[in-house]
Amino acid sequence: MNAPTHKGASTTWERQRFLAQMALRFLLQGGGSEAWQSWPIWRRLLLRAQWRAWGLPTVLSFFGLVVGVASLSVAMAVVSGYEATLRAAVVDLFGHLVIAKRDDAPISRERFEHKLRANFPEAWRQEVRLTPFLTLEGIIVGDGQLSGVILQGVEPQSVREVLRIEARKVKGRFLKSEDGETAESDAVPVMVGQALAKRYNLELDKEFRVVLPRPLESDTSGFASKVLRLKVVGWLDLGKAEFDERNIMLPIDHALRWSGVQLPIREQMQLGGWRVHLGRDARAEEAQARAGDLAATLGRNWSVMDWAEGNRNIFKAIQYERVAIFFVILVMVIAAAFNVASNIFVGVLRRTSDIATLRALGLSQLDIERMFRWQGLLFGAMGAALGLFVGALMGLAFLEIQKRFALLPADVYKLNFIGVHFSWLEALLVWTSAVLICWLASLWPARRAARLDPVEGLRYD
């Protein structure tokens, strides 16, 4: 056996390094000619001779570990991607905070902004951005279909600073400030969700009509309809299916005129509210805390809602689902670890003479046990690392398949497209779990190796 001598291994670190080197040599022994012994591990693993030397059971257990780790990593990435995609869709359309006034008392915009910024920490005040909005509900009719839509009036200039809507434009152009000055007799430029556009065949520059029901002043139980002429100037991919199917975005000046609110919007707001961007990537807990502080300060006449409030249950469900998926798929890794343990045990029986030789050279039972523990640790580390790489490839394949096929129905998952989000922390958790399980699985074979009688091993050598 071509093994390094034990001289110089006086310190604990040197001794552990020697045992790790011996474990690695045992693991890769027989993988090729002597000229290949100095090759890096990843190149040695590509040798056909290495796989033949391991044998079919070892190869299958190694691939079982790789598949288990890959499945676990891509599952965690898809769940994280679903959460990130849903969060981005909500924040991009609604902002971090939504502030609405419950009464009709006018308030100047400058006064409101000053009052709002005063409630934030000093470091946040210059980063906070806000934009007014007004929401109306209407009915769109066309191609033999009828459905409810949401007309969201926005201020084209300030909405770019608060919402990431412009980045979600897939066709056409974004709204301009001049669009708010369109004559009442002309069609009003609007942007529509792409699902709504496809359903009603709303191509660019095409005019369509929306019926806006309004209560009668003389009889609040009755309604009078107002027909709005709209013209498509852009398509939006709002990320969430229910957003894409209902949302129409238009200049707020027209929305105010149709709602009966007096202009100009730049001087006072009597209806609607403001969307607020906190100037940073605020977490749900952070936005919720800011919403609570603002609600207490502004008083009962104001309603303050954070971006996660309407989706808090689904975000909590995602957290529980992530934990459940982790432990369910971890069973595959545990099963692969048992195969690793059985192969180490077989290796112990095959290397009885080598173990006896090492014992004769001065290694103790504890050294032998540690050496085979290192073998399980190295086997798990290599399999887990390759599994993470395969998982990343599977994630990319999942993204490409979604682009070509309707893999996830939007009416079920509420999203048009689910991203894949690989987190370094989750990857480290998966890798560490796999390596730890393989190390624990190697404890019994390592103890069995330590108990071998060196005399019996050398008798027939």
pLDDT in tens, 308-357: 776 777 778 888 888 888 888 888 888 888 777 777 777 666 666 666 66
Residue 311 has which token pair? 């989706």
Query: What tokens were used for 295?
Result: 């609600």
Whole-angstrom Cα distance, residue 176 to residue 156?
Answer: 6
Cα separation of 457 and 92, whole Å?
A: 70
Q: Select from 197, 147, 143 the least CA-distant residue to 172.
A: 197
- Give the chain as a 3 state SS string: CCCCCCCCCCCHHHHHHHHHHHHHHHHHCCCCCHHHCCCCHHHHCCCHHHHHHHCHHHHHHHHHHHHHHHHHHHHHHHHHHHHHHHHHHHHHHHCCEEEEECCCCCEEHHHHHHHHHCCCCHHHHCCCEEEEEEEEEEEEEECCEEEEEEEEEECHHHHHHHCCCHHHEEEECCCCHHHHHCCCCCCEEEEEEHHHHHHCCCCCCCEEEEEEEEECCCCCCCEEEEEEEEEEEEEECCCEHHHHCCEEEEEHHHHHHHHCCCCCCCCEECCCEEEEECCCCCCHHHHHHHHHHHHHHHCCCEEEEECCHHHHHHHHHHHHHHHHHHHHHHHHHHHHHHHHHHHHHHHHHHCHHHHHHHHHCCCCHHHHHHHHHHHHHHHHHHHHHHHHHHHHHHHHHHHHHHHHCCCCCHHHHCECCCCCCCCHHHHHHHHHHHHHHHHHHCHHHHHHHHCCCHHHHHHCC
Q: Give percent above pLDDT 90 in the chain.
A: 7
CA distance 347 to 28: 12
Q: Are 36 and 44 in contact (CB under 8 A)?
A: yes
Q: Are 256 and 263 in contact (CB under 8 A)?
A: yes
Contact at 8 Å (CB) between 82 and 339? no
Distance in Å from the first CA to the final CA of the chain = 11
The predicted structure's pLDDT at residue 189: 92
306: tokens are 């954070």
Instruction: For 289-313, write each residue's pLDDT tens digit.
Output: 777 777 777 777 778 888 877 677 7
Q: Which amino acid is at 24?
A: L
pLDDT per position as a tens digit, 21-64: 666 666 655 444 444 444 454 454 445 554 455 556 677 778 88
For residue 365, how far is the Cα from the chain centroid?
48
pLDDT (tens digit per residue) in 93-117: 888 888 887 766 666 677 777 777 7
Closest CA to 186 of 222, 228, 151: 228
* 81 touches 399 (CB < 8 A): no
Q: What pLDDT, on a 0 to 100 scale, did the predictor assign at position 31?
A: 42
pLDDT at site 92:
82
pTM: 0.68
Condensed to tens digits (0 to 9), the pLDDT of residues 115-174 reads: 777 777 666 667 778 888 888 888 887 777 788 899 998 888 888 888 888 888 888 999
Using the structure block, give the residue that is written with the tokens 């309604």. 223
Could you give the CA distance from residue 94 to residue 202 in angstroms, rounded to a whole number? 24
Q: How far apart are CA 256 and CA 152, in angstroms?
A: 11
- Measured over all CA atoms, what is the biggest interatomic distance in the chain, rounded to whole angstroms? 110
Of 443, 451, 99, the closest CA to residue 294 belongs to 99
Q: Is residue 267 over pLDDT 50?
A: no
